[in-house]
Chains A and B, each alone.
With several copies, the nearest count.
Chain A
Amino acid sequence: MRHFKSMVVLNEEVSPGYARIRLTAPRVIMRAKPGQFVMIRVSEGIDPLLRRPFGIYDLGSFMPEYPDAPLQDYLEVLYKVVGKGTRILSSLHHGDYLDILAPLGTGFTQGNPEEEKILVGGGVGLAPLYFLAKQLVKKSKVKVFIGGRRKEDILSVTEFERLGIDTYVATDDGTLGAMGLVTEVMESNLANGDAKRSIFACGPLPMLKSVAGISERWGVSCQVSLEANMACGVGACLGCVTKGRNHSEQTPDYRCVCKDGPVFDSREIMWE
């Protein structure tokens, strides 16, 4: 958990309405785990007031353009422009500065390398899965299932393929890959195999819920990365909580998405 000023190195559209931003980061960022996230303050003033959370999409280092410079580490965020904060983000250029907290939260547990790793992402939920995939492929067989509404919402296919990962795509309108829900594609794929597997999912809540159900049915362990409205990102405001499996009014079991998550074992969550 570090608080630092970061310089924008590049910021480019990757698909209509989606962009990837590369941000300088202190050396220690290299210890960040897939699934951890960052909180970005997009304005120095009060509009917008709060930081915005984003998963880590990638980490790396580059050689600055001046002589004898040490390698500079960076992190990347893949984001979708949905409102004021992401609109401001999308207007930034090389050389602009941002204020960042990172890395926050828990990451994915990578588990036994023998297992086949099934990654399922919807839209911008792909972001942390790409970072995860880069690490997993070193030791495991990995498959990724990418879903979205239209073909514009399908991100990073090339990047996953470049990692040598089997990539399955589904869109609601059939403009890319199979027509239908990515969870259906994934489930039929699960049916055609019997390796020991585990699932890693990130995306909209209904998708995660469906993935949790599938993993339950097939008895496959499953981690999900949740989203929530966040104020602090550090476990202090209790704004981002989600109900744990055993939650009740009498014996409250709320977990902070920011601190106890954003990644949870799907069986730990109360799916409503």
Chain B
Amino acid sequence: MKKPDLSVEIAGIKMRNPVMTASGTFGYGEEFSPYLDLDTLGAIVTKGLSLAPRAGNPTPRIVETPGGMLNAIGLQNVGIDAFIEKKIPFLRNLNTPVIVNFFGNSIDEYAELAARLDLVPEVAAMEINISCPNVKHGGIAFGVDPKAAFSVVKAVREMTIKPIIVKLSPNVTDIVEMAQACAEADADALSLINTLTGMAIDLDKRKPVLANVTGGLSGPALKPLALRMVWQVSRAVKLPIIGIGGITNAIDALEFMLAGATAVQIGTANFINPGIAQKITEDMELYLVKNGITDVKELVGALEI
């Protein structure tokens, strides 16, 4: 049999397969190069970027929970200048699209970041994080209010002709409403979900485990929620969707595609197995071969209700 076609395209970003790595879980790619071939991935999404460098939260910042983990990194990052100077040179040599995830404390900051990234040729697309629940000013207000989300996306849209992916928060009553607001503001694609706000407590110390008290839940525990949201949004909104949340293997990834995702992002699973993203691409191909599917795109939204 001919090799199946794994390639997908999202808002003009051509990817050799649907397997991307999720922001904040894959560093700037480099950290994982001993463990996999970065040029086998669909795309790499870099750690959330802000204008100025950010210190992030005090420690402890992470804790394991049943089937998942909480993180309160607090969006620590090197800031856009250092990113362009120190991280882009490595990424430039890859044959894989680089998508830059970023966030601002205000609409102006979002717009300014977009304007600057628009000029960086190595940036294939932007992923706007309107959803990080860790930091008071990390965008939480934008991520749960459709009007605010609309304004941010609109402002970014005016600054760039690169594809805009908006990353949605699950901490909302109605994810479809959020998705629609982004679509109206002319986003090119949606990625979902970001982490769910949770908390862990140390009984003996009578204290929260995380210095930040609450953190974002990620990992397999989250998968049913993420699948549901992808499915809901894909039925209501025409934009291409990138499915994220608890994916640890090719089966999980393909389930998200059935639910309506054109591509997926691997997050926490990178910590468990630093070579997992490449392995998922390989296993995905095996699955297609075994089931006589010639093109992975056939599966997108192919869920039968």
* A touches B (Cβ under 8 A): yes
Residue A175 lies at the interface, judged by CB distance under 8 Å to chain B: no
Beta-carbon nearest neighbor of B68 in chain A: A49
Beta-carbon nearest neighbor of A232 in chain B: B271
A235 to B35, CA, bound (A): 13
Residue B31 lies at the interface, judged by CB distance under 8 Å to chain A: yes
The residue that B76 contacts in the complex, of A46, A252, A259, with Cβ under 8 A, is A252
Tally B residues with Cβ within 8 Å of A.
36
Residue B55 lies at the interface, judged by CB distance under 8 Å to chain A: yes
Residue A3 lies at the interface, judged by CB distance under 8 Å to chain B: yes
A227-249 vs B, CB cutoff 8 Å, 1 = contact: the mask equals: 01111111111111110000111
The residue that B62 contacts in the complex, of A46, A51, A101, A239, with Cβ under 8 A, is A239
Residue B73 lies at the interface, judged by CB distance under 8 Å to chain A: yes
User: Are the C-beta atoms of B60 and A229 separated by less than 8 Å?
Assistant: yes
A46 to B247, CA, bound (A): 12
A215 to chain B minimum Cβ distance, whole angstroms, is 23
Q: Which residues of A contact B268 (CB under 8 A)?
A: 49, 231
Q: Which residues of B contact A41 (CB under 8 A)?
A: 272-273
Residue B27 lies at the interface, judged by CB distance under 8 Å to chain A: yes
User: Are the C-beta atoms of A46 and B67 separated by less than 8 Å?
Assistant: yes
User: Are the C-beta atoms of B62 and A49 separated by less than 8 Å?
Assistant: no
Beyond the given A228-B59, A238-B56, please list 9 additional residue pairs across the A-B interface where CB-CB is below 8 A. A49-B67, A51-B272, A101-B274, A228-B60, A234-B35, A235-B31, A239-B71, A239-B73, A252-B56
Q: Which residues of B contact A233 (CB under 8 A)?
A: 271
A-B contact pairs, 25 of them (CB 8 A): A1-B34, A3-B34, A3-B35, A46-B248, A48-B64, A49-B220, A50-B69, A50-B271, A229-B63, A231-B71, A232-B31, A233-B271, A234-B35, A234-B274, A235-B31, A236-B270, A237-B27, A238-B24, A238-B61, A238-B73, A238-B76, A240-B62, A241-B61, A252-B53, A254-B56
User: Are the C-beta atoms of B60 and A3 separated by less than 8 Å?
Assistant: no
B162-196 vs A, CB cutoff 8 Å, 1 = contact: the mask equals: 00000000000000000000000000000000000
Within 8 A of A (CB), among B253-284: 268, 270-275
A87 to B277, CA, bound (A): 25
B79 to chain A minimum Cβ distance, whole angstroms, is 10
Within 8 A of B (CB), among A9-63: 41, 46-51
Most chain B CB within 10 A, of A2, A48, A235, A237, is at: A237
A241 to B66, CA, bound (A): 23
User: Are the C-beta atoms of B64 and A49 separated by less than 8 Å?
Assistant: yes
Q: Which residues of A contact B61 (CB under 8 A)?
A: 229, 238-241
User: Are the C-beta atoms of B271 and A51 separated by less than 8 Å?
Assistant: yes
A235 to B25, CA, bound (A): 10
Residue B139 lies at the interface, judged by CB distance under 8 Å to chain A: no
User: Are the C-beta atoms of B272 and A49 separated by less than 8 Å?
Assistant: yes
Most chain B CB within 10 A, of A41, A49, A232, A233, is at: A49
Known interface pairs A3-B274, A229-B63, A252-B76. Does A237 touch B71 (Cβ–Cβ under 8 Å)?
Answer: yes
Residue A73 lies at the interface, judged by CB distance under 8 Å to chain B: no
A227 to chain B minimum Cβ distance, whole angstroms, is 11
B94 to chain A minimum Cβ distance, whole angstroms, is 16
A231 to B195, CA, bound (A): 16
Most chain B CB within 10 A, of A3, A101, A252, is at: A252
User: Are the C-beta atoms of B55 and A249 separated by less than 8 Å?
Assistant: yes
B53 to chain A minimum Cβ distance, whole angstroms, is 6
Beta-carbon nearest neighbor of B210 in chain A: A229
The residue that A99 contacts in the complex, of B27, B35, B64, B273, with Cβ under 8 A, is B273
Residue B137 lies at the interface, judged by CB distance under 8 Å to chain A: no
Most chain A CB within 10 A, of B53, B62, B76, B268, is at: B62
Q: Which residues of B contact A236 (CB under 8 A)?
A: 25-27, 31-32, 270-271
Q: Which residues of A contact B66 (CB under 8 A)?
A: 46-47
Q: Which residues of A contact B73 (CB under 8 A)?
A: 237-239
A246 to B136, CA, bound (A): 25
